[in-house]
Homo-oligomer: A and B are copies of this chain.
Amino acid sequence: MTVMTTDLIMHGSAGTRVAAELRDAILAGTYPPGTRIRQEDVAGRHGASRVPAREALRLLESEGLVKVVANTGAWVTSLNLAECEEIYQIRERLEPLLLRLNVPLLTPEQVDGLDALAHEMERSDDVETFLHLDREFHLSCYTEATTTMLHDTVLRLWNRTQPYRRAYTTVFRSAGDRSAHHEHHLIVSALRRGDADEAERVLASHIRRTRLELARHPEIFDAPAAQPTRADAR
């Protein structure tokens, strides 16, 4: 075995690549929270042995996407409402800072792009494209600052709540959309004027409002989704 086609120059170890692919799969919803992940499956699916597979699982665990129990196995992380709110509270403090650092660096063209994204979001009615555009909008606000650690931290927080944003959007799609769209345009406006304080304020209340709205629908977190202790992985 081990065909090793080498069809692509591999930059970085295989564990990193496997982790990236697995991360994408989890974020895409292929593995919902609570899903058991077996090392051998990961290895087989991504063309590697169990060593880099295990490496990838440990990596994703440190990002909070996976929970590894010693000598037992790995599961996609499940969050309860309290943990989800915690993440939103952290975001409420961190993202305004990150946005502030980006304000003086964003070009007018980039702000135009954000405006376009905000409008495109209003027109979208598909859940997946909405999720994608929302993520794209917010993360595009953060591309210019060179603060790597802050950026990474925020990215991890987004990733950890991704399944729950999907669940929420799927069920209560139209609920807070009006406010969200309004706030996005307020952010664009503040960015255009270079008003960092206003941008911070709007973003903070945007995240806060989302958190409160989420808290109003705890039923999303009810189903622990049948945790097979040692059984299948789908």
Chain A residues engaging chain B, CB cutoff 8 angstroms? 11-13, 15-16, 51, 54-55, 58-59, 62-64, 70-71, 82-83, 86-87, 89-90, 93-94, 97, 146-150, 153, 160
Can you tell how many copies of this chain the complex includes?
Answer: 2
In angstroms, how far is the closest chain B Cβ from the Cβ of A186?
Answer: 21
Q: Give 24 CB contacts A-B under 8 Å.
A: A11-B70, A13-B70, A13-B71, A15-B58, A16-B70, A55-B55, A55-B58, A58-B59, A59-B62, A62-B62, A64-B149, A82-B146, A86-B147, A86-B148, A86-B149, A86-B150, A89-B97, A89-B150, A90-B153, A93-B93, A93-B94, A93-B97, A94-B94, A149-B160
In the docked arrangement, what's the CA distance between A11 and B82, Å?
28
In the docked arrangement, what's the CA distance between A147 and B86, Å?
7
A58 partner residues in chain B, CB cutoff 8 A:
15, 55, 58-59
A149 partner residues in chain B, CB cutoff 8 A:
64, 83, 86-87, 90, 160
Known: A15-B58, A58-B58. A90 touches B150 (CB 8 A): yes
Chain B's closest residue to A100 (CB) is B89
Chain B's closest residue to A157 (CB) is B149
In the docked arrangement, what's the CA distance between A54 and B13, Å?
12
Asked if A70 and B153 make an inter-chain contact with CB atoms under 8 angstroms apart, the answer reads no
